[in-house]
Amino acid sequence: MPSLDAARRRLRLSDDHVSVLGVLVEEERLPDELSQAREELRGAGLLDADDKIVGDLYPLVSTLMEPRVIARVEVTGPQGVTSNGAVVGEEFIFVHEAWPGEAESEYVPAEPETLVWSLARMVDLHRDLTDAADTGEVIESTMGTLDRVIERMEGGENLEAEAVAEATDAPLRLAEVLAELNCMWRITVAWQGDGPTRTDSGLAVSALAVWDCGIEGYWVRELPAEPVADGQVDATSALRVRRASAKELWQRVTDLLPDEAQLVSSAS
C-alpha cells in the first residue's frame, strides 16, 4: 500500500501509483486498470475526494513530470531483478529503491552532493577487500557461452568450475568468476542534451554494466558495450569482461552523470 512519512518526506509508491499521479496531473482519463491504484492513493490520504494531489506530493510529482536527468539501476541477483534509480528535476532530486518481491518502491529526497553515493549504495559498491593484483585481467567469450554457464550453475549440476567449463565449452576463468557471482548490475543515465550516445528519441545516454563476484572482485562488462539496445545482442555476440577496482567503479559511476554544460534546461 502507498504511504507517506511526512516528517522525512519519504513515500512508498508502486509504478501504478506513479502512473495514476501522472494521469491526474495531465488531466487525462484514468484507464480502468489503474482504478485500484487510485483507490489505494485515496485510502492513504494522498488524494482527496476530488482526486486532488496533496501538497506533500508536489516535490516528487513535479520532478517526475519534468525530469532533467533519469538514472535507472537494475540489479539482478538470487531474488530476481530489482529496479531502482534517481530522478533529477529543476528544483528537487529523488532517489527510489525497490525491495525484492515488493510492489512499492521508497522515494526519498536527495541532494546533488549525495547522488553518486546514493547510486553506489543501490548496487552495494563497497571497498574491494580481495587481492587486487589481478585488476585489469580480461576474460573473453560469447554471450551464448555466458548463458550456458549461468544456466548450468542455476540448475545445480556440476557446480565445480572445472566441470562447468568443460560441459559448456567455456573458458575456465569465466566459470571460476561466475561461481562467485553475487549479482550483476547496470546503471543507465539519460538526459536531454549532449552525451556520448544518443537514443532514437534524441536522449543522451551513458551506461555501465558490472559483475559483483565476491572474492573474485568486480568485473566491468566491456562487450557488449553499454548502452545495449533491444535486439542488439544474441548468442554469437562477443563477451569481454575486465576486472576493476572499487575505486575505478566509483569514478565510472561519477562520470555517468552529465555536467551542467551537457544539459538542456527545461526552462529554455
Residue 73 CA to residue 83 CA, distance in Å, equals 6
How many residues comprise the chain?
Answer: 268
Which pLDDT score, from 0 to 100, does residue 56 have? Answer: 92
Residue 243 φ then ψ, to 5°:
-70, 135
HEC string for 68-106: CEEEEEEEEECCEEEEEEEEECCCCEEEEEECCCCCCEE
- For residues 38 and 51, is the Cβ–Cβ distance under 8 A? yes
State whether the Cα torsion 151-154-156-159 is positive or negative: positive
Amino acid sitting at position 239: L
Residue 129 has pLDDT above 80, yes or no: no
Assigned C-alpha cell, 227: 548502452
The candidate with the shortest Cα–Cα distance to 23, out of 15, 220, 252, 253, is: 15
pTM, two decimal places: 0.92
Which pLDDT score, from 0 to 100, does residue 80 have? Answer: 93
Residue 75 CA to residue 97 CA, distance in Å, equals 11
Mean pLDDT of 59-73: 96
Which pLDDT score, from 0 to 100, does residue 267 have? Answer: 42
Which pLDDT score, from 0 to 100, does residue 130 have? Answer: 65
For residue 266, count CB atoms less than 10 angstroms from its CB and return exposed for 0-12, middle for 13-18, buried for 19 or more.
Answer: exposed
Q: How many CB atoms lie within 10 A of CB 147?
A: 13
Three-class SS state of 243: strand
Which pLDDT score, from 0 to 100, does residue 266 have? Answer: 43
Q: Tens digits of per-residue pLDDT, 196-222?
A: 787 767 789 999 999 999 999 999 999
Alpha-helix residue ranges (DSSP H) falling in 84-207: 115-122, 143-154, 161-168, 172-178
- For residues 262 and 191, is the Cβ–Cβ distance under 8 A? yes
254 contacts: CB under 8 Å, gap ≥ 6: 116
pLDDT bracket for residue 133 (50, 70, 90): low
Mean pLDDT of 251-255: 97
Residue 165 CA to residue 175 CA, distance in Å, equals 6
